[in-house]
Structure 1
Amino acid sequence: MEEEEDTNLLLDAINAVNDVFWTYLVIPLLALVGVYYTVRSGGVQFRMIPEMIRNLRGSPERAPDGKRAISSFQAFSISAAARVGTGNVAGVAIAIALGGPGAVFWMWLMGMVVGSISFIESTLAQLFKVRDRAGYRGGPAYYMRYGLKKPWLGALFAVVMIFTFSATFNMVQANSITDVVDNSVSAATGEDPAGWVAPVVGLALVAVVALVVFGGVRRIATVAQATVPFMALFYVLMGLVVVGINIDQVPGVLADIVGSAFGFREVGAAAVGTAIMQGIQRGMFSNEAGMGSAPNAGATAGVSHPVKQGLAQTFGVYFDTLIVCSVTAFIILTSNPTYGEEIGAALTQNSLENTLGTWSLHLLTFIVVLLCFTSVLGNFYYGEANLRYLTTDERALPIFRLAVIGILFLGAVSSLQLVWDFANVTMGLMAVVNLVAVAPLGMLAVRLLHDYRQQRARGLDPVFLRESMPDVDGVQCWDGQPERVPETERL
C-alpha cells in the first residue's frame, strides 16, 4: 500500500510539471515556430508533396569504407522505424481515452503545422552533417555546434536525446509490447493477465534486439527497410477494412472529432484543454516533428542536395499522422468505446476485435510487436549517433548498447502510466532545446529550398556545393560532386 501511494505521488508530481511545461512553453513554441516557417517557406509541407515522394527514390553515394552510404529511402525508413510504432497504436488510444475524439483533430492540425519544422530541421541536419566511415552522421547536436556555434548546446541536446529515446521511449515501446501480448494471452486463455508475461517478453526482447544492435547502422537500416513499410501498410489496410465495414458511422465520427475539439459536443469527461494537450503530446510522440529526432536519421543519407532529404523526412510526418494515426483513430471511434475504461494499445486491440473478431486482436499483437521492435532499433540509432557526438572513445559504444538492452527489460515490467508520463517530460524538454536552435538557423534551410527550386525549374537534378553559400561557416561536407553508386548496385 505504501509503495502504491509513493507511485501515485510521483505520478501527480510528473503530471503537474507536464501541465505547466507544455501549456506555457512547449505548445506555444511549437505553434509559433511552425507557423513562422510555414509562411517563410511558402507552405513547403503542402506544396511539395510530389517532390517528397520523388526524392525517396534517389540513389546513394559511395561511403569512405567502399560500401554504399545510407540511401534516402533507408534514412527515411530508420526515422519511420522510430515514428511508426507504439505512438500510432497505443499513443492515439491514450489520446482518445483521456482527451476524447477532439484529441484527433488537434493531432491532425499540429501535424500539418509542424511539417514545416520537420523540413527545416532535417535540411539543417544535412547541411551540417559530418563524414564517418559508414557515410555520414549528424542531427541537431551538429547544427548547434557548427551552425549555431554553441557546442555546449549541442552537448546538452545529445544528453537529452540519449536519455529520451534510448531510455524513456524504449521503455514505452517495451511496455507496449508487454501490454499487447498480455491482452492477447488473456483473450486466448479467458483468464486475467498472467504475471509471467512481462518478464518473458522483456527477456525475449533483450535477446532479439541485442542480435541487431551489435551489427551497426547498416543492419538497422536493412531491418527497418524490410519490415516497416510492410507492417505499416498491412495495418493501414486492416484499418481501412474496419472503416469500410462501419462506413455508415464515419460521418458521426468526424462530427465527434470536430465537435469535441472545440467543445461543441461533449464526449466523456474530456475538456477542450485536455483534448488539445493529449492530441499535441501524442502527435509529437508519434510523428516526432520538432523534437529533433528524425534529423539524426536524415543526416545519414548520401544525397546531392540537403533539401532532398528534408522533403523526404517531411513526408514521414504525413505518413505517420494523417495516415497511420488516423487509421487507429477510426478503428477505435467506430467501435463506440467507453472513454476512460480502457487505455493504451489494449483499447485499439479490443476495438479491432469488436469489428473483425478475435483473430484480429492476435494479428494486431504481431503487428505491434514488430512495429515497436523497429521503433526500438530507430531509437537505439538516435542514441548512438548522439553518443558519438559526445565522445570518440569506441569503448563507450558497447557499454551504451548493454545499458539500452537493460533498460528495455525495465520498461517491459514497469507500469504503463509511469513510462508515458515520464516520456512527456523528456520529449518536451528535447523539443524546447531543438527549437531554440531551429528558430534562428531555419532561414538557411529556406535559402536552400530556394536554390533547390531554381535548379528544378531549369530541369536539373539539384546539386549543392559548399561554395554555393560561401557566407555560411561550419559546413563540414558538400565540397565536391558526390560519387554515385553504379546502377547495378542500387537498392
Structure 2
Amino acid sequence: MSEFLDLVNSYVWSNALVYLCLAAGVYFSIRSKFVQVRQVPEMLRLLVRGEKSPSGVSSFQALTMSLAGRVGTGNIAGVATAIAFGGPGALFWMWTVAFLGASTSFVECTLGQIYKTRDQLTGEYRGGPAYYLSRAMAHTRAAGAFKVYGYIFAAVTVLACGLLLPSVQSNSMATAMSSAWGFSKWWVAVGTVIVLAFVIIGGVKRIAAFASVVVPFMAVVYIVLAMIIVLLNADQVPEIISLIFSSALGFDSAFGAIIGAAVMWGVKRGIYSNEAGQGTGPHAAAAAEVSHPAKQGLVQAFAVYVDTLFVCSATGFLILSTGAYRVFEGESESGAVIAEGGALPADTEVGPGFAQVGFDTLWSGAGASFVAISLAFFCFTTLVAYYYMAETNLRFMLGRHAKVQIPGVGGTLGTGLTMLLQALILVSVVIGAVSTATEAWVLGDIGVGLMAWLNIVGIIILQKPAYLALWDYEKQKKQGLDPVFDPMALNITGATFWETYERRPQTTAAGQTSGD
C-alpha cells in the first residue's frame, strides 16, 4: 500500500502541477495588475471594517476561518521538511508561491463570494469551487460539463478534507505531544476527538467564533517568540538571507545539485501551507457577509501573506539562525547529509523536532513543550476548518435533497449524512494520530494535489468575473462610495444570490447616501 500511495503521489505532484501553480500565479498577477501589491492598504482596512448577519460571518471571522485551515502543521513541520529535502532555498520558493499565490487567492475567493448561496438546512452562506464551477457556466452550452466538474471537485474535497488531510494534522499534534510530555498517541487522539466533536457540531457560527479567538492569539505568540530568537542571533541574519537566495538559485556549491528539489519542496510545502489555488480559501470567503465580493477576495489574498510571509518565515529563520537543521540528498532521510547547522541531536527526525531544538536555545527544555502547544492549537483549528469545507461540499452534492426526510428515522438526508461525515473525520483523526508521519504526509499531499489540479484549471477558465468585480470595486472606491455588487450590471450570469440580494444605499466616506 505504501508503494502504491507513493506512486499516486508522484503522478499527482509531478513537475506539471508545480509549474502550473507558478504559471497561474504569474498570469493572475499580471492580469489583475498585481492586486496583491496595489491593494495592501485596502486589505488592512477591510480586516477591521466588516459586517455580519444571521446568515454570514464578518470579514475578520471569515479570514480567521481561512487562516484556521492555512495555519497548521505545514507552518512548522512543513517548513522543516522543505528545508531538510530542498535546502534553505526552499524557503525562497515558499515566498515566491505566497507572493504569486496572493493573486490566485484573490481570484478564487472572489469567485467564491460571487457564486455563493444559502444552505438549504441552516440558511447560512455556502460557497467554494464546486459552486462556481457549476454556476459560472450555467447559461452556456458547457453548463452540463461544468456541473459535472463541480461535483467531481466536491467529491474529491469531501474525501480530502474528511479523510486524507486530517490525518496529517493529528499525526503532527500527537507526535509533538508524545515527544514533549510522553503522552500516549491514543490518549491524544481521544482528547482531540472529544473537543473537535463539540466544536464542529455547533455549525459555522461556533466554528467562526472559535477560530476568531484562537488563531490570531496563537499566531502572534508563535511569531513573536520565534522572532525573539532570531533577533538574539541577529548577526547571522544577513548570512542566512544570502544562503536562502544563493541556494534557491543554484549559486551555492553545496546546494547546487538539489536546486530542483528546492523548487519542488518549496512550491509543494508552500501550497500545502498557504493553500493558494488549492480551493480551500473560497469556502471560508463565501461565508462572509459583505456588500461586494471583491472585499473578501482582498481579505483572503492577505491571508496568504499572514500564513507564509509571517508564520512560515518565522519558522524558517528560527531553524536556520539556530542551526537546527540538516539537509539530505535524494529527498529522503536515508540520503547522504549534504549540509547541517550543527545544533540538532543525531536522533532528531525531520519535522517538529527542528523547531523544538530551535526554541530550546531561548529556554532550555521548553522548546518541545512550546512547539507541542503551538501545534495543538494550529492543528486543531485546521481540523475544524477541514470539517467545515467537507461539510460545505457535502451540502453542495446533496442540494435540495438535503431536506428529504429519511423514512422511519425522523431526520433529513442532509442531517444524517452530516453526522456520518462528522464520524468519518473523527475516525480519520484517530487513525492519523497513531500512524507513521510518512504515511500521513503522503495521504495529505495526494489530497492537496488533487484539489489543486481541479481548482486551478477551473479558475483559469472562469477567472473573468473576478476581474470584473475588481474593476467595479475600484471604480466605486474612486467615486468615494462603499462598493455594492450588482452582477447584472456587469453581465455576470449565474450569481443568483446577488441577483436577489437586498442592496443597501451606497454611502460616501462622509456617511451620506449617494445622490444626497
- TM beyond 0.5: yes
Partner-residue secondary structure (3-state), 2:496: coil
Unaligned runs of 5+ in 2: 138-142, 329-347, 403-412, 506-516
Give the distance between the partners of 2:167 and 2:474, measured in 1 at CA: 42
Match of 2:170 in 1: 174
Q: CA 1:471 to 1:477, structure 2 compared with 1: closer, same or farther past 3 Å?
A: closer
Give the distance between the partners of 1:482 and 1:169, measured in 2 at CA: 39
Is it true that 1:297 corresponds to 2:297 in the alignment? no
Match of 1:422 in 2: 443
Match of 1:52 in 2: 43
Match of 1:330 in 2: 317
How far does residue 13 in structure 1 lie from its aligned partner after superposition? 4.3
Q: Which of 365, 376, 381 pairs up with 2:383?
A: 376
- Counterparts of 1:240-259 in structure 2, within 5 Å, are 240-259=227-246
How far does residue 474 in structure 1 lie from its aligned partner after superposition? 4.6
Match of 1:433 in 2: 454
Match of 1:309 in 2: 296
Is it true that 1:79 corresponds to 2:86 in the alignment? no
Match of 1:360 in 2: 367
Scaled by the length of structure 2, the TM-score of the pair is 0.86
Q: CA 1:88 to 1:478, structure 2 compared with 1: closer, same or farther past 3 Å?
A: farther
Q: Which of 264, 272, 281 pairs up with 1:285?
A: 272
Give the distance between the partners of 1:372 and 1:331, measured in 2 at CA: 20
Q: Which of 76, 100, 108 pairs up with 2:87?
A: 100
How far does residue 483 in structure 1 lie from its aligned partner after superposition? 6.5
Contact 1:60 1:303 in 2 (8 A): yes
Match of 1:70 in 2: 57
Match of 1:22 in 2: 13
Match of 1:128 in 2: 115
Match of 1:473 in 2: 494
Match of 1:487 in 2: none
Partner-residue secondary structure (3-state), 1:272: helix
Scaled by the length of structure 1, the TM-score of the pair is 0.90
Partner-residue secondary structure (3-state), 1:477: helix
Give the counterpart letter for 1:36 in structure 2: Y
How far does residue 342 in structure 1 lie from its aligned partner after superposition? 2.9
Partner-residue secondary structure (3-state), 1:324: helix
Give the distance between the partners of 1:27 and 1:229, measured in 2 at CA: 30
How far does residue 352 in structure 1 lie from its aligned partner after superposition? 1.4
Give the distance between the partners of 1:270 and 1:166, measured in 2 at CA: 38
Q: CA 1:256 to 1:15, structure 2 compared with 1: closer, same or farther past 3 Å?
A: farther
Q: After superposition, what is the alpha-carbon deviation per residue over 1:317-354, rounded to whole angstroms, capped at 9, x for unaligned?
A: 00101110000001100121233453111211122113
How far does residue 356 in structure 1 lie from its aligned partner after superposition? 3.2
Q: After superposition, what is the alpha-carbon deviation per residue over 1:124-168, rounded to whole angstroms, capped at 9, x for unaligned?
A: 010000023343110000001101331111111011111222222
How far does residue 482 in structure 1 lie from its aligned partner after superposition? 4.3
Partner-residue secondary structure (3-state), 2:497: coil
Give the distance between the partners of 1:97 and 1:471, measured in 2 at CA: 47
Percentage of identical aligned residues: 38
Give the distance between the partners of 1:471 and 1:300, measured in 2 at CA: 20
Give the counterpart letter for 2:470 in structure 1: L
Match of 1:190 in 2: none
How far does residue 268 in structure 1 lie from its aligned partner after superposition? 6.7
- Counterparts of 1:136-147 in structure 2, within 5 Å, are 136-147=125-136
Give the distance between the partners of 1:266 and 1:203, measured in 2 at CA: 48
Contact 1:141 1:157 in 2 (8 A): yes
Give the counterpart letter for 2:63 in structure 1: F
Alpha carbon RMSD of aligned pairs, Å? 1.8
How far does residue 444 in structure 1 lie from its aligned partner after superposition? 1.2
Give the counterpart letter for 2:494 in structure 1: D
Give the distance between the partners of 1:403 and 1:16, measured in 2 at CA: 25
Give the counterpart letter for 2:36 in structure 1: Q
Highest RCO, 1 vs 2 (Cα 8 Å, sep ≥ 6): 1
Partner-residue secondary structure (3-state), 1:339: strand
Partner-residue secondary structure (3-state), 2:251: coil
Match of 2:336 in 1: none
How far does residue 220 in structure 1 lie from its aligned partner after superposition? 0.6
How far does residue 423 in structure 1 lie from its aligned partner after superposition? 1.6
How far does residue 62 in structure 1 lie from its aligned partner after superposition? 3.0
Give the counterpart letter for 2:152 in structure 1: L
Give the distance between the partners of 2:266 and 2:77, measured in 1 at CA: 13
Unaligned runs of 5+ in 1: 1-9, 186-193, 485-491
Give the distance between the partners of 1:251 and 1:60, measured in 2 at CA: 43
Give the distance between the partners of 1:159 and 1:439, measured in 2 at CA: 21
Contact 2:247 2:255 in 1 (8 A): no
Is it true that 1:239 corresponds to 2:187 in the alignment? no
Match of 1:114 in 2: 101
- Counterparts of 1:179-258 in structure 2, within 5 Å, are 179-185=175-181, 197-258=184-245
Give the counterpart letter for 1:288 in structure 2: E
Contact 2:86 2:258 in 1 (8 A): yes
Q: CA 1:445 to 1:206, structure 2 compared with 1: closer, same or farther past 3 Å?
A: same
Give the distance between the partners of 2:123 and 2:311, measured in 1 at CA: 32
Contact 2:279 2:452 in 1 (8 A): yes
